[in-house]
Amino acid sequence: MDTDGTRDAHNTHATPLPRPAGPVEGAVMPPMPTMPPGAPPRPDGSTFLTWLRAPRPQAAPGVWRLGHRPRPEREPERIPTRQLLSGALIAFLVGWLVWSLLWNGYLGTWWVLPLDLFTPDSWREGNDRVGNAFLWYGYYTVIALAILFVVGRLGRWGEVWRRFGPPAWQPSEPTAEPPPTPGQDPAEFPHLRAAGAGAAAERLAAEARAGVMRDVDHARIDRAWQGVRSGRHSLAAFTGAVLKDGSAACLHPSGERDLPARHARHDLLTGQVRLGTTADDPRNPYHYRGAGLGLGPDLLGTSLLAVGPAGSGKTGGVIRPLAESLCLHALAGQAAVVVVGAAGAGLGPAESYDVVVRIGHTDSVYDLDLYGGTTDPDEAAAILAEALVGDLADPHPGSDSRRSTTVLAQLLGPFHAVHGRFPSVPELRGLLDGAPGPLAALRKALTDTGQEPLLRELDARERQVAHPGDVGTVLADRIALLDRPAFAPFFDTSGRTRPFSLKALDHPVRVRVDLPQRGHADASRILARLVLAQFTAAVTAREDRSLFACLLLDDASGVVTPEAVRGIQRLRSAGAGAVLTLRTLDDAPRPLRGPLLGAIGCRMALSGLTPWDGQDFAEVWGKEWTETRDVTDRQIIAETPAGKAVHMLRRVITGQAPTARAVTVRQVERERWSASELAHAVPAGHAVLSLTSVRGEHAPPLLVDLRG
């Protein structure tokens, strides 16, 4: 561009400056830029390699392992400052007194006996004054150092130095880890080289050093390698894919290698997401205090229940980070996740999911399969009965909804046999209402197709309609909640829409289901029960259970039913888990609270809990043996005139009567966290969390800062 011409065009009075004919003598030319101005710096892989090589020691359940520095199981005894300093001073004075007594001969000359026994007389009695001085004063120095060593140990001078000396003036820096050897460097992929995939290891190591590889890529390739080791994939196919695409090999079907944004801290090498920090509180075990709290599939496989009022951090502090972590695991081919919550609840952007079902919104791309993708009328009837009237069943653990299942099966079986599909919501409502028109049309179709056995099912249904206690009436009232104009485009069974079925959990899929809670609260609870029932039925029927499946249900009010509790109990053995949140345990029937807390391995009580909710948590967490100290002060009565005078003087100086203190130490059994403590002693933004891993490891209730 002609800059002079541009200047003249904008300012006709400007005079162009003269340009030098050549480089100015003595001037230094600037270096040639390596990239365009404003371009981001090129990655060098140092950040990824640092993350990959960071220490991850084995730790207790729930401890954030990335960079964790283990602590002792028991808290070391910390001496009070006053007692420590006074003891150090007294020890110094005692050492000084002993040395003075030895030096001045008040204790005799026995302490020089070793010098007389182990040295020649010529050394001690010679004319060499320098040698004699060196011998005797060297021996005196040894004795003095021995006295200093003894009194230093007795006075804990080392503790004084560590607590008040230069080591305490500056914060301790973590020691640098030694560089790993080539055979143990994870950035060189030694396990691939050992298995004969050296070329693939070289390609991956080069991309890791160049900064091309990400943590999701590493986890995805590791998942693919596990498939090679288990025999699902061949070594040649794995090597060919890596040599062709490098760190982008074995991509997720969506083609994405990361989420649009991350709001939590993740470590895909251990599978953990950091939720907060374990508080430095005496009620927490010492080896947990100050450690990060990390949850992963090993803990979510026993399911998680979080209870707390609105605004306590259930969605933003628990559900959102877990959903983000599981979406990353899905991109790595390690998990399948279904997140269910109200529309606009802040469960992550739509770009983070493969399927977003927005029930009640006309612009929703996907529909929800009302029958869970099954073609078995009995299975479809069981799932639908649980969704419609599961909360109306007897809440005791032994009850179920078999009558409702039978009623639905009597209609779904004949309808599917005639039409090759299940009825839509309006068609099912008409059949449950017992109107003569739909039942007569179904009977005629069965007669025309020769389905005689299914006619008996329809006859039984027509006989039950005439009874006053027919369950079909209740089912018709509940299905009518879904037969609304807002839901008219949804739950279609004719094939015109794209219904999503939870049968797809055999693949690493990311799903978000938005419930229409505003104006349709009852319908939202039905749909939440429907998704939970379909989830438990789908994951327990999977063949490949190495793919972790998890359901995150934000606000599980009205979802806790006897069948739901039984389904959650089966998830652990199926390689799956569920995360439920409740505002209060009153949202679950009273007879089901104990079985629910017993079926779930990880239990979280957030701040603001009510005392009666805290009582349920206190009972399930049980009691522990603890040491109590009872201190009793007994007044001392003087009998002599001198003693009375001393006591009077002491009372005048201190203002208190002379007492003798008696301390009684006992072992008592007390609740780990009482209901009153859970209701009033948990600070805002904190929670009390107990953990159980799929391997059976336990962590006691921990006070956790969810904001840390």
449-476 per-position pLDDT tens digit: 877 778 888 888 888 887 777 888 899 9
Kindly give the residue spans of alpha helices, DSSP state H, lying in 561-605.
Answer: 562-571, 590-599
The chain-wide mean pLDDT, for the chain, equals 85
> How far, in whole angstroms, is CA 120 from its chain's centroid?
73
Q: What is the CA radius of gyration of the chain?
A: 38
Whose tokens are 């020769």? That residue is 450
pLDDT tens sequence across 320-332: 999 999 999 999 9
Q: Is the pLDDT of residue 671 over 50?
A: yes
pLDDT of residue 121: 66
CB count within 10 Å of CB 679 equals 18
Task: Indicate the pairing of strand 335-342 with strand 510-515.
Answer: parallel
Q: Is the pLDDT of residue 30 over 80?
A: no
The mean per-residue pLDDT over the stretch 542-559 comes to 92
pLDDT band at 397; cut points 50, 70, 90: low
Kindly give the residue spans of alpha helices, DSSP state H, lying in 54-195.
Answer: 81-103, 113-118, 121-125, 129-155, 157-164, 190-194
pLDDT of residue 38: 42
pLDDT band at 596; cut points 50, 70, 90: very high
pLDDT tens sequence across 147-169: 999 999 988 888 888 888 887 77
Give the whole-angstrom CA distance, residue 273 versus residue 262: 11
Q: Which residue has the higher pLDDT, 660 or 567?
A: 567
pLDDT band at 266; cut points 50, 70, 90: very high
> How far, in whole angstroms, is CA 414 from its chain's centroid?
47
Q: Is the pLDDT of residue 680 over 90?
A: yes
Q: Is the pLDDT of residue 33 over 70?
A: no
β-bridge mates for residue 368, sequence order? 500
DSSP conformation class of 385: H
> How far, in whole angstroms, is CA 256 from its chain's centroid?
24
The mean per-residue pLDDT over the stretch 225-232 comes to 90
Angle, CA 682 vertex, CA 679 and CA 686 arms, to 5°? 130
Q: Which residue has the higher pLDDT, 617 or 28?
A: 617
Q: Is the pLDDT of residue 267 over 70?
A: yes
What would the two tokens of residue 290 be?
Answer: 């100050």
pLDDT of residue 295: 96
pLDDT of residue 34: 42
The mean per-residue pLDDT over the stretch 409-423 comes to 91
DSSP conformation class of 450: T
Q: Is the pLDDT of residue 378 over 60?
A: yes
- Spell out the residues 6+ positions from residue 15 whose beta carbon is closer than 8 angstroms to its own: none
pLDDT band at 176; cut points 50, 70, 90: low
pLDDT of residue 123: 65
pLDDT band at 379; cut points 50, 70, 90: very high
| Torsion angles phi and psi, residue 635, rounded to 5 | -70, 140
First to last CA, the chain: 55
pLDDT of residue 168: 75
Whose tokens are 């026995």? That residue is 110
pLDDT tens sequence across 8-29: 333 333 333 333 344 444 444 4
What would the two tokens of residue 584 be?
Answer: 């209060």
Give the rounded percent of residues in the chain with a pLDDT score beyond 70.
89
Contact 583, 673 (CB under 8 A): no
Q: Which of 303, 359, 386 is nearest to 512 (CA)?
A: 359
3-state secondary structure 482-533: CCCHHHCCCCCCCCCCCEECHHHHHCCCEEEEEECCCCCHHHHHHHHHHHHH
Give the whole-angstrom CA distance, residue 60 versus residue 536: 29
Whose tokens are 């060919």? That residue is 240
Contact 368, 491 (CB under 8 A): yes
- Amino acid identity of residue 485, one-letter, is P
Contact 239, 197 (CB under 8 A): yes
pLDDT tens sequence across 245-256: 999 999 999 999
pLDDT band at 645; cut points 50, 70, 90: confident
pLDDT of residue 670: 87
Contact 607, 312 (CB under 8 A): yes
pLDDT of residue 117: 72
Q: Which of 51, 65, 53 is nearest to 179 (CA)?
A: 53
Q: How far is CA 235 from CA 203, 226, 231, in A?
A: 15, 11, 9
Contact 260, 352 (CB under 8 A): yes
β-bridge mates for residue 513, sequence order? 340, 357
Contact 271, 329 (CB under 8 A): yes
Contact 340, 550 (CB under 8 A): no
Q: Is the pLDDT of residue 611 over 90?
A: yes
CB count within 10 Å of CB 350 equals 13
DSSP codes joined into one string, 187-243: GG-HHHHHTT-HHHHHHHHHHHHHT---HHHHHHHHHHHHHHHHTSS-HHHHHHHHH
What would the two tokens of residue 474 be?
Answer: 């209740």
Q: Is the pLDDT of residue 104 over 90?
A: no
Q: Report if pTM > 0.75.
A: yes
Give the whole-angstrom CA distance, residue 453 versus residue 442: 14
Half-sphere CA count of 200, side-chain side, radius 13 A = 27
Largest CA distance in the chain: 136
- Amino acid identity of residue 106, one-letter, is Y
- Amino acid identity of residue 681, one-letter, is A
Q: Is the pLDDT of residue 619 over 50?
A: yes
pLDDT of residue 437: 85
pLDDT band at 218; cut points 50, 70, 90: very high
Q: Which residue has the higher pLDDT, 143 or 304?
A: 304
Residue 328, judged by CB atoms within 10 A of its CB (0-12, 13-18, 19+), counts as buried
Contact 374, 339 (CB under 8 A): no
DSSP codes joined into one string, 145-175: HHHHHHHHHHHTHHHHHHHHSGGGTSPPPPP
Calculated CA dihedral for residues 340, 344, 350, 355, nearest 10 degrees:
30
